[in-house]
Amino acid sequence: MKRLFCCFLVLGALTLYNIPSLMADPSGVFKTRYTTVYYSNEKDIDDFIWKLGGQRMGLVADKDLAANRIDRLVERVEAILDMQPKDFKINIYLSRGILESGRIAFYDHKTKSIHISVDYATDGVTAHEIAHAVMNYHFSTPLPDKMQEILTQYVDKYLWNDY
């Protein structure tokens, strides 16, 4: 009886804390002004930052520069879309390989999070997903999928066009 009670207690705790998030169990968390990035190991976050900025650097060496790379991308997307949602904060989960449904990255509106494969990450891919997040924060009702894709393609086209 005592063992059965313990099993129900553990099962209840897992349900409260969302089993999928426990399974991911990131070992690292990196916070910027707009994002919280969850990663499994230092190589993942270092590769991600490198792919956003084109220059190798260690996260430990310069956290401010790494945070600036991510936040600059968010601000660039907001400027292109002319949308600056109040209190904009998103989670970014880094993984390796192809993600669910054969995708390399996606934005989850329900959890306000971006999932991205470090293997395929670029500033363009990341900006595309950030654009989805900005739109979903800006509008109280999510835009239709086709409209979102048109606007994210606009971001793709003009991301660094004036540089």
Taking only the tens place, the pLDDT of each residue in 13-67 is: 333 333 333 334 568 999 999 999 999 998 999 899 999 887 776 655 678 888 9
Q: How far apart are CA 117 and CA 127, in angstroms?
A: 14
Residue 26 is predicted with a pLDDT of: 67
Residues paired with 106 in a beta bridge: 115
pLDDT at res. 160: 86
Among candidate residues 133, 101, 129, the one with its CA nearest the CA of residue 116: 129
CATH tag, 26-158: 3.30.2010
Q: Over the stretch 103-148, which tens digit does the pLDDT of each residue have?
A: 999 999 999 999 999 999 999 999 999 999 999 999 989 899 999 9
Q: Is 115 helix (H, G, I), strand (E, B) or coil?
A: strand
pLDDT at 92: 98
